[in-house]
Copies of this chain bind each other. A is one copy, B any other.
């Protein structure tokens, strides 16, 4: 039993989960002094959807945000979330892009890289891990947690072992849907602690109201670090409150050593900040346990409902909910995280709306069944695969092995628009959006999306949510 450390997620996953990733750098900087002094093991401040949101909505340079946060947080590790070979985009990148991206992150101040793959295919995280180690930074291998007939604690342990062999300095359990229960957490953490010599970190979401209990069982079973969010950005689809976990563990063998009164001050700051972004709030921010009965993440259910409503097919919700697990089974039980949640959800909607399963098959499902996202956790349905891709070849290799070097090509394409390697990588992540951003910047035409004044009507709430944003 050792002291527990905390990674606070407010500046990345917190606002990504609750206000559609809209927090601006100007609202982060004033509190950085206090956050820097609080004693967190790390602050997750970058990666995930923040890079996209900076360019698309805030018209901020994400690299400039990183540099500013680095300067404002000199004594605390900065942490980011990286989608393995997908980096912060939505496709597999060539290895030279992965290496260049990681090098630029490190050079601009990143300390800890949490690296995951939606399929838990370790081939898709290897190059990123190596690149982080080459930069002498902390590489954290993340397990995308899910439940299915083919997922066992033993498999997660094997994956952790593999990632440690690849050079990871710590292992994270990443439970984005809030699927973990307290006793399942204890069991998995125990198995991981026994199997590997590096620290175990827990990242789980509060969606089903189980996060605090999961963290408690995690530390009792030897987890070193828990991921929490300042109370003002906690709860709902976000995380357990930082202040509450610090209070729960105070004076015990798991004491975090953090000063609760100092954290409360930070919490009050963020209460005010959150008000500014009211137009991005979900209608419901409470507890939703449906993921525990359906295994379908709450955010995915809400998105399906919006999608069906838009098509006047709200009466099909029940049928789609029943179809999702079947499609997931056909696809070999991928964890339901970006992008696999979209792939499975969209195909399930098609299967129901067309009236015949797999009459129409999305291009994403076709790619998936060709192996272009990586190795599937379980066997795919051979009949469905034949229907989807006929006799087309199924690739067995790592998807990125089929890509040649890309950086030179990207540099050429973006041309004078890029003033730095960082600019090239903006273009690499989002070719259209990135180019538009760089052009507007050149022309002095960057205009952040406007914020409605506090107290304004909430009637027209159409903040893009993850499911829609990543469907393109």
User: Which B-chain residue is minimally distant from A183 (CB atoms)?
Assistant: B252
Chain A, range 260-305, C-beta contacts under 8 Å to B: 260-261, 263-264, 267, 271, 284, 286-290, 292-293
Q: How far is the CA of A287 from the CA of B235 in the complex (A)?
A: 9
Q: With A182-B216, A260-B292, A293-B260 known to touch, is A208 a contact of B287 (CB < 8 Å)?
A: no
Whether the Cβ atoms of B286 and A248 lie closer than 8 Å is no
- Cβ of A242 to closest chain B Cβ, rounded Å: 9
Interface size on A, residues (CB 8 A): 40
Whether the Cβ atoms of B248 and A213 lie closer than 8 Å is yes
Tell whether A244 is near chain B: CB-to-CB under 8 Å.
yes
Given B183, B244, B290, which contacts A208 in the complex, CB threshold below 8 Å?
B244
Residues of B close to A209: CB separation below 8 A: 212, 231, 234, 240-241, 243-244, 247
Given B216, B243, B271, which contacts A289 in the complex, CB threshold below 8 Å?
B243
Tell whether A250 is near chain B: CB-to-CB under 8 Å.
yes
Each complex incorporates copies of this chain amounting to 2
- Cβ of A11 to closest chain B Cβ, rounded Å: 18
Tell whether A181 is near chain B: CB-to-CB under 8 Å.
yes
Given B208, B247, B261, B290, which contacts A181 in the complex, CB threshold below 8 Å?
B247
Residues of B close to A208: CB separation below 8 A: 243-244, 247
Tell whether A88 is near chain B: CB-to-CB under 8 Å.
no
Tell whether A210 is near chain B: CB-to-CB under 8 Å.
yes
Tell whether A55 is near chain B: CB-to-CB under 8 Å.
no
Chain A, range 225-261, C-beta contacts under 8 Å to B: 231-232, 234-235, 240-241, 243-244, 246-248, 250-252, 260-261
Residues of B close to A251: CB separation below 8 A: 183
Whether the Cβ atoms of A293 and B271 lie closer than 8 Å is no
Q: How far is the CA of A182 from the CA of B243 in the complex (A)?
A: 14
Residues of B close to A216: CB separation below 8 A: 182, 213, 216-217
Other than the known A183-B251, A241-B287, A264-B293, what 6 A-B pairs have Cβ atoms closer than 8 Å?
A181-B247, A182-B248, A209-B234, A234-B287, A243-B287, A250-B292
Chain A residues with a Cβ under 8 A of chain B: 181-183, 208-210, 212-213, 216-217, 231-232, 234-235, 240-241, 243-244, 246-248, 250-252, 260-261, 263-264, 267, 271, 284, 286-290, 292-293, 455, 459
User: Can you give 10 contacting A-B residue pairs, CB < 8 Å?
Assistant: A181-B247, A183-B248, A208-B243, A209-B243, A209-B244, A212-B213, A232-B286, A234-B286, A267-B289, A271-B286
